[in-house]
Amino acid sequence: MVIEALPLQATAELFPNGISRYAVGGLLVGLGTVVIYLGTGISAGASTFLESTLSYVSDRSRFQQYVSSRDWRVVFTLGIILGAAVYAAVYQGGAWTTDVQPWRLLLGGVFVGIGTRVGKGCTSGHGVCGVGSASKTSIIGVLTFLAVAIITAQLVAALGVSP
Protein backbone atom coordinates (compact mmCIF):
# COMPACT_ATOMS: atom_id res chain seq x y z
CA MET A 1 0.00 0.00 0.00
CA VAL A 2 2.75 2.41 0.92
CA ILE A 3 4.56 1.62 -2.31
CA GLU A 4 1.44 2.45 -4.24
CA ALA A 5 0.59 5.58 -2.29
CA LEU A 6 3.93 7.33 -2.73
CA PRO A 7 3.81 7.79 -6.50
CA LEU A 8 0.16 8.82 -6.21
CA GLN A 9 1.05 11.47 -3.68
CA ALA A 10 3.90 12.76 -5.84
CA THR A 11 1.56 12.88 -8.82
CA ALA A 12 -1.01 14.83 -6.83
CA GLU A 13 1.66 17.37 -5.88
CA LEU A 14 2.88 17.83 -9.42
CA PHE A 15 -0.62 17.90 -10.88
CA PRO A 16 -3.00 19.34 -8.23
CA ASN A 17 -5.73 19.72 -10.86
CA GLY A 18 -5.17 16.37 -12.53
CA ILE A 19 -4.03 16.04 -16.11
CA SER A 20 -7.18 15.24 -18.07
CA ARG A 21 -8.28 18.82 -18.74
CA TYR A 22 -4.78 19.68 -19.93
CA ALA A 23 -4.39 16.59 -22.10
CA VAL A 24 -7.87 16.83 -23.63
CA GLY A 25 -7.42 20.55 -24.26
CA GLY A 26 -4.03 19.94 -25.86
CA LEU A 27 -5.40 17.19 -28.11
CA LEU A 28 -8.17 19.56 -29.25
CA VAL A 29 -5.64 22.32 -29.97
CA GLY A 30 -3.76 19.79 -32.10
CA LEU A 31 -6.99 18.68 -33.77
CA GLY A 32 -7.90 22.26 -34.73
CA THR A 33 -4.44 22.66 -36.28
CA VAL A 34 -4.79 19.36 -38.11
CA VAL A 35 -8.24 20.20 -39.54
CA ILE A 36 -6.73 23.25 -41.23
CA TYR A 37 -3.59 21.40 -42.29
CA LEU A 38 -5.38 18.46 -43.90
CA GLY A 39 -7.69 20.75 -45.85
CA THR A 40 -5.18 23.38 -46.93
CA GLY A 41 -1.62 22.24 -46.20
CA ILE A 42 -1.20 25.30 -43.96
CA SER A 43 0.52 25.05 -40.54
CA ALA A 44 -1.38 27.81 -38.77
CA GLY A 45 0.30 29.70 -35.96
CA ALA A 46 -1.39 32.32 -33.83
CA SER A 47 1.15 35.15 -33.65
CA THR A 48 1.41 35.94 -37.38
CA PHE A 49 -2.12 37.39 -37.03
CA LEU A 50 -0.56 40.31 -35.13
CA GLU A 51 1.57 41.36 -38.10
CA SER A 52 -0.83 40.33 -40.88
CA THR A 53 -3.59 42.42 -39.28
CA LEU A 54 -1.25 45.42 -39.04
CA SER A 55 -0.96 45.24 -42.85
CA TYR A 56 -4.50 46.68 -43.04
CA VAL A 57 -3.29 49.90 -41.46
CA SER A 58 0.45 50.10 -42.21
CA ASP A 59 2.23 49.82 -45.56
CA ARG A 60 5.54 48.75 -44.04
CA SER A 61 7.07 45.80 -45.91
CA ARG A 62 7.30 43.68 -42.74
CA PHE A 63 3.51 43.67 -42.55
CA GLN A 64 2.72 43.81 -46.26
CA GLN A 65 4.40 40.43 -46.82
CA TYR A 66 1.36 38.89 -45.09
CA VAL A 67 -1.31 40.57 -47.24
CA SER A 68 -2.26 37.33 -49.01
CA SER A 69 -2.93 35.49 -45.73
CA ARG A 70 -4.36 38.32 -43.64
CA ASP A 71 -8.03 37.59 -44.37
CA TRP A 72 -7.99 33.95 -43.35
CA ARG A 73 -5.87 34.78 -40.30
CA VAL A 74 -8.65 37.10 -39.12
CA VAL A 75 -11.14 34.26 -39.62
CA PHE A 76 -8.84 31.85 -37.71
CA THR A 77 -8.60 34.26 -34.78
CA LEU A 78 -12.38 34.88 -34.77
CA GLY A 79 -12.78 31.09 -34.69
CA ILE A 80 -10.48 30.86 -31.66
CA ILE A 81 -12.48 33.56 -29.84
CA LEU A 82 -15.81 31.90 -30.72
CA GLY A 83 -14.60 28.40 -29.80
CA ALA A 84 -13.48 29.67 -26.39
CA ALA A 85 -16.83 31.44 -26.00
CA VAL A 86 -18.63 28.14 -26.64
CA TYR A 87 -16.52 26.59 -23.86
CA ALA A 88 -17.42 29.45 -21.53
CA ALA A 89 -21.13 29.09 -22.31
CA VAL A 90 -21.14 25.32 -21.81
CA TYR A 91 -18.71 24.76 -18.91
CA GLN A 92 -17.99 28.08 -17.29
CA GLY A 93 -21.47 29.52 -16.85
CA GLY A 94 -20.56 33.07 -17.83
CA ALA A 95 -17.59 35.36 -18.19
CA TRP A 96 -14.32 34.91 -16.28
CA THR A 97 -11.84 37.72 -15.77
CA THR A 98 -8.23 37.62 -14.68
CA ASP A 99 -6.81 39.18 -11.52
CA VAL A 100 -3.35 39.57 -13.06
CA GLN A 101 -2.55 43.27 -12.97
CA PRO A 102 -3.06 45.30 -16.17
CA TRP A 103 0.53 46.60 -16.23
CA ARG A 104 1.84 43.03 -16.32
CA LEU A 105 -0.51 42.18 -19.18
CA LEU A 106 0.33 45.31 -21.17
CA LEU A 107 4.10 45.26 -20.67
CA GLY A 108 4.26 41.48 -21.03
CA GLY A 109 2.15 41.76 -24.18
CA VAL A 110 4.65 44.21 -25.73
CA PHE A 111 7.48 41.72 -25.13
CA VAL A 112 5.33 38.88 -26.51
CA GLY A 113 4.55 40.93 -29.62
CA ILE A 114 8.20 41.71 -30.29
CA GLY A 115 9.60 38.33 -29.29
CA THR A 116 7.21 36.04 -31.14
CA ARG A 117 7.68 37.93 -34.41
CA VAL A 118 11.47 38.28 -34.16
CA GLY A 119 11.76 34.67 -32.98
CA LYS A 120 9.67 33.27 -35.88
CA GLY A 121 6.87 31.79 -33.82
CA CYS A 122 4.97 31.41 -30.58
CA THR A 123 3.58 28.62 -28.44
CA SER A 124 1.39 27.38 -31.30
CA GLY A 125 3.71 27.96 -34.28
CA HIS A 126 6.92 26.68 -32.65
CA GLY A 127 5.31 24.70 -29.83
CA VAL A 128 2.53 22.75 -31.55
CA CYS A 129 3.35 22.89 -35.29
CA GLY A 130 7.14 23.16 -35.10
CA VAL A 131 7.69 20.53 -32.42
CA GLY A 132 5.17 18.32 -34.27
CA SER A 133 7.40 18.77 -37.32
CA ALA A 134 10.47 17.73 -35.29
CA SER A 135 11.99 21.06 -36.35
CA LYS A 136 15.29 21.73 -34.57
CA THR A 137 14.71 25.46 -34.90
CA SER A 138 11.35 25.16 -33.14
CA ILE A 139 12.64 22.87 -30.40
CA ILE A 140 15.43 25.35 -29.66
CA GLY A 141 12.88 28.19 -29.79
CA VAL A 142 10.56 26.44 -27.33
CA LEU A 143 13.39 25.59 -24.90
CA THR A 144 14.53 29.22 -25.05
CA PHE A 145 11.20 30.89 -24.37
CA LEU A 146 10.19 28.27 -21.81
CA ALA A 147 13.42 28.64 -19.80
CA VAL A 148 13.32 32.44 -19.88
CA ALA A 149 9.59 32.48 -18.98
CA ILE A 150 10.22 30.22 -15.96
CA ILE A 151 13.06 32.46 -14.74
CA THR A 152 10.98 35.60 -15.31
CA ALA A 153 7.85 34.29 -13.57
CA GLN A 154 9.87 33.06 -10.57
CA LEU A 155 11.72 36.38 -10.31
CA VAL A 156 8.50 38.39 -10.49
CA ALA A 157 6.93 36.17 -7.82
CA ALA A 158 10.07 36.45 -5.64
CA LEU A 159 9.80 40.24 -5.87
CA GLY A 160 6.37 39.91 -4.27
CA VAL A 161 4.31 40.86 -7.31
CA SER A 162 0.97 39.05 -7.08
CA PRO A 163 -1.20 38.45 -8.86
**Cβ 126 to another protein shortest distance, Å:** 8
Residue 6 or 28 with smaller CB distance to another protein: 28
**Cβ 2 to another protein shortest distance, Å:** 24
Cβ atoms 113, 105 nearer than 8 A: no
Query: CA 32 to CA 94: how far, in whole Å?
Result: 24
Is there binding between residue 4 and another protein (CB under 8 A)? no
What is the CB-side half-sphere exposure of residue 104 using CA atoms within 13 A? 11
Cβ atoms 142, 130 nearer than 8 A: yes
**Cβ 20 to another protein shortest distance, Å:** 9
Cβ atoms 87, 104 nearer than 8 A: no
Q: Which of 8, 146, 159, 160 binds another protein (CB under 8 A)?
A: 146
Task: Find the binding residues for another protein in span 44-103 (CB under 8 A).
Answer: 44, 46-47, 49-51, 53-54, 58, 60-63, 68, 71-72, 75-88, 91-92, 94-100, 102
Is there binding between residue 25 and another protein (CB under 8 A)? yes
Residue 2 or 95 with smaller CB distance to another protein: 95
CB atoms within 10 A of CB 132: 14
**Cβ 52 to another protein shortest distance, Å:** 10
Nearest to 129 by CA among 141, 117, 118: 141
Q: Which of 9, 10, 56, 150 binds another protein (CB under 8 A)?
A: 150
**Cβ 45 to another protein shortest distance, Å:** 8
3-state secondary structure 111-141: HHHHHHHHCCCCHHHHHHHHHHCCCHHHHHH
Residue 1 or 99 with smaller CB distance to another protein: 99
